[in-house]
Amino acid sequence: MFDEDKKFDAIVIGSGISGGWAAKELCEKGLKVLVLERGRDVKHLKDYPTALKNPWDFKYGGRMSREYLLKNPLITKTYAVNQSTTHFFIEDEDHPYIQKKPFDWIRGYQVGGRSLTWGRACQRWSNYEFEAPAKHGYGIKWPIDYKDIAPWYSHVENFIGVCGNKDGVEAMPDGEFLPPFDFNCVEKHLSDKISEHYPDRYMVQGRWAQLTEPKKIHLDQGRGKCLARNLCMRGCPYGGYFSSVSSTLPWAAETGNLTIRPHSVVHSILYDNETGKASGVKVIDSNSGEETIFNARIIFVNASALNTNLILLNSRSQRFPNGLGNDNGLLGKHICFHIYRANASAAIDGFEDKYYYGRNPTDTILANFRNLGKKDKDFFGGYTTFCGAYRASTTGVPDGEPQLGANFKHALSEPGEWRVYMYMQGETIPKITNQVYLSPDKKDKWGIPLLVTDVAYDENDEKMIEDFLQESREMLQKAGCKDIVTADNKQSPGLDIHEMGGARMGKDPKTSLLNQWNQLHLCKNVFVTDGACMTSTGNQSPSILYMALTARAAGYAAEEFKKGNL
């Protein structure tokens, strides 16, 4: 039972990938921590209802019912939603928002948040990415650089378990890796051909949050080896991949310092004029509708980038009429994301006598090769390319033969041709015109203003997509592929599920909301360490950077707390 009278040193808003880390680090440092989660509770193992289901246990062969699709045109756009994962995603009508321009906001409201269903790619940023925005003039200077965050990357990698190879690629620094997943034979071929034709391009094994060879620290978390099922998004019964639910939250709970309160929708953060600090958090119980205020000396906001913006914007007081810490009016601005629009696929001859065993949960990665240190293209930023190869399903027998019957069935029972794919993850430019703000009149069922998204692609994005389409085609040609198809799916921003910014970090309070420790410049006991803090997007998958920033900020917060500064 939740004890309403319990006192807390710190409140963490959100239990996803960064909130879990805030909880773990603060609890380990001896602080009493309350984690507020707007969704229901999810417990490791117990709440993975589909984890052990077989293909025939899903009555539509993995597809969705028409009723579900009609009810959920938004959430079913993501690749991650299917019959086996719907319980980890919201339903559209429960959580409205206003799209001034098309923006697909994909959410998962439960303990663990989207860490249950994340993509799990864990490449480090290089210093190129930290430096580029200020150096090339498309953003402000990050208040930290690679050497500030590198030890925290190590700290996180060691705990969550990241597989990968030490490749010595400058654009994608090495980390503390468990053994990588194998290349299959076509991936090896592709990697070799790319090296041969492009001495400055590196296609390497994925760096992924999978326990290929668990160490004591992972076994101590109750997690075990990744068994190559590639059904991660259902929740892993072996703890083979990292999520808050399998790792940081139970670890924090072990300290005896953690309280998690599900069904707690945060309305706002309360500001105390006298102390000049935030005093607590106003919460609405999603079951009873009851309002409660929780007080603490430290508040970590980890509600996921856009919800963090919403909460801060809605935290209005006499001192901060436009949202907490928002004197410069930049809160909610400079929203950015990753470009996932373009992909390439092809077939490749040969290798018919080769196959692979098991289901690889990782992609191979072609490190960014654009605008490294100097701007060498007509666009800013770079892109990471995820790639891989697999044997496709056979779809029939040779033309002219009957496409049904015994031979047809046997053909379909055998692996088909080798297919190769590439897809981009591109940097976007933080712009003041890409923004979120509160609806002046529309509210949700708890009386909280709806968020308006006003975010779109720009010319830089289009140029980068063009470059990817051209380069991916050329690389596949040089690797000896055939039937190459490149495509721009024109998907809306948001569907990348990498929303970032709105409360960016920076040295100058005039141009940023957060300092180098992720504290609000103007309200020092509030820390924002989820995607909202991002000064720029880089081209790497962001989650591990959020985790590293969170651990770093939480360490600082705990020290300051003990010194009596917070």
Minimum Å gap between C-beta 185 and another protein is 4
Contact (Cβ atoms closer than 8 angstroms) between residue 271 and residue 319: yes
Strands 364-366 and 203-204, how do they pair? antiparallel
Tokens of 521: 């410049």
Among 215, 404, 459, 562, binds another protein (CB under 8 A): 404
In the complex with another protein, which residue's Cβ is closer, 150 or 185?
185
**What is the contact mask toward another protein in residues 459 to 498, using x (rule: CB under 8 A)?**
--------------------------x-x-x---------
Minimum Å gap between C-beta 423 and another protein is 6
Tell me whether residue 39 is exposed, middle or buried, using C-beta atoms within 10 angstroms of its C-beta: 0 to 12, 13 to 18, 19 or more: buried
Among 126, 268, 304, 345, binds another protein (CB under 8 A): 345
Residues 68-87 that bind another protein (CB under 8 A): 69-70, 73, 79-80
Among 3, 4, 5, 54, binds another protein (CB under 8 A): 54
Residues 101-160 that bind another protein (CB under 8 A): 119
Minimum Å gap between C-beta 193 and another protein is 16
Minimum Å gap between C-beta 163 and another protein is 11
Distance CA 186, CA 175 (A): 26
Which range of residues in 101-109, 419-427, 522-530, 557-565 is near another protein by CB under 8 A? 419-427
* Interaction of residue 349 with another protein, rule CB under 8 A: no
Among 129, 187, 461, 499, binds another protein (CB under 8 A): 187
Partner residues linked to 217 by β-bridges: none
Backbone phi, then psi, for 422, in 5-degree steps? -140, 140
Among 500, 468, 513, smallest CA distance to 330 is for 513
Partner residues linked to 460 by β-bridges: none
Minimum Å gap between C-beta 495 and another protein is 10
* Interaction of residue 362 with another protein, rule CB under 8 A: yes
Amino acid (1-letter code) at residue 341: R
Among 25, 363, 461, 499, binds another protein (CB under 8 A): 363
Minimum Å gap between C-beta 167 and another protein is 17
Distance CA 325, CA 4 (A): 28
- CB atoms inside a 10 Å sphere around CB 35: 30
Partner residues linked to 256 by β-bridges: none
Among 452, 463, 304, 268, smallest CA distance to 370 is for 463
Which range of residues in 247-255, 287-295, 349-357, 376-384 is near another protein by CB under 8 A? 349-357
Distance CA 540, CA 371 (A): 14
In the complex with another protein, which residue's Cβ is closer, 361 or 531?
361
* Interaction of residue 164 with another protein, rule CB under 8 A: no
In the complex with another protein, which residue's Cβ is closer, 72 or 309?
72
Q: What is the DSSP letter of 248?
A: I
HEC string for 18-54: HHHHHHHHHHHCCCCEEEECCCECCCCCCCCCCCCCC
Return the ∠ at Cα 358 (arms to 356 and 360), rounded to 5°. 90
Q: How many residues at the interface with another protein, by CB under 8 A?
A: 78
Minimum Å gap between C-beta 177 and another protein is 16
Among 425, 417, 405, smallest CA distance to 496 is for 425
